[in-house]
């Protein structure tokens, strides 16, 4: 059964098979983790996104990682939080599910996710983490390692509280 690992760090530095980008529907880059991934991936990453013609909210697209240590980037567009009654939970779940589907289709064995939609898009962190972990638990058997890459200790603590069985940081896998 694949490990779910909770770490705190910069997803652009992870030498995993695929990192997931919290993009916007234009796939032209932006701030937050999107900006960090495009800065690290280099101009070829933006060139690879252009012919994709964007990505609807709740869906995902895959490109090479170019200058990133990860050979693949899975770009997904999370919902903007509008109070929770505009289909946000289903759209966010779709981001994780579609990212995992693309990962499986490309033979990915280790994958890292940021906390999609919980930054600029304002999704409440705990509610988002519950959705993320719910999909990760369903998908983990098809992977060697699924990483929740948190950008702050506060975010990692939210995941840790919701996932006592998860491996923390650099601990050996369970």
Active site members? 34
Identify the H or E element spanning 64: strand 60-64
Is 34 an interacting residue with respect to ligand APR (CB under 6 A)? yes
Q: In terms of CB distance, is 120 or 142 closer to ligand APR?
A: 120
Residue 34 CA neighbour count, 13 Å, CB half:
22
- For residues 104-163, which are near ligand APR according to CB under 6 A? 114-121, 149, 151, 155
Distance CA 153, CA 121 (A): 20
Both tokens of 58, joined, read 């709740």
Least Å distance, CB 62 to ligand APR, is 17
Among 3, 4, 6, 11, binds ligand APR (CB under 6 A): 11
88 binds ligand APR (CB under 6 A): no
Rounded CA separation 111/132 (Å)? 13
10 touches ligand APR by CB under 6 A: yes
Verify binding: residue 30, ligand APR, rule CB under 6 A: yes
> Residues 65 to 84: which contact ligand APR by CB under 6 A?
78
**Min CB(55)–ligand APR separation in Å:** 11
- Backbone angles phi and psi of 26, in degrees to 5: -80, -20
Q: Smallest distance from the beta carbon of 150 to ligand APR, in angstroms?
A: 7
- Binding status of residue 94 toward ligand APR by CB under 6 A: no
58: CB partners within 8 A, 6+ apart:
77, 78, 79, 90, 91, 92, 94, 95, 98
Helix (H, G, I), strand (E, B) or coil at 113: strand
Say whether residue 49 binds ligand APR (CB under 6 A).
Answer: no
């Amino acid at each position: 059964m694949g490990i779910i690992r909770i770490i705190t760090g910069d997803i652009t530095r992870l030498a995993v098979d695929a990192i997931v980008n919290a993009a916007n529907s234009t796939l032209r880059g932006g701030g937050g983790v999107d900006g960090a991934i495009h800065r690290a991936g280099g101009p070829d990453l933006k060139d690879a996104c252009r012919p994709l013609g964007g990505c609807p909210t709740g869906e995902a697209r895959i490109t090479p990682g170019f200058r990133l240590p990860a050979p693949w980037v899975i770009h997904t567009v999370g919902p903007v939080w509008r109070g929770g009654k505009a289909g946000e939970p289903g759209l966010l779940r779709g981001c994780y599910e579609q990212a995992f589907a693309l990962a499986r289709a490309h033979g990915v064995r280790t994958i890292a996710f940021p906390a999609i939609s919980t930054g600029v898009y304002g999704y409440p962190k705990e509610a988002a983490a519950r959705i993320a972990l719910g999909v990760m638990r369903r998908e983990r058997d098809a992977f060697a390692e699924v990483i929740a890459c948190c950008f702050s200790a506060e975010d990692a603590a939210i995941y840790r509280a919701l996932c006592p069985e998860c491996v923390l940081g650099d601990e050996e896998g369970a």
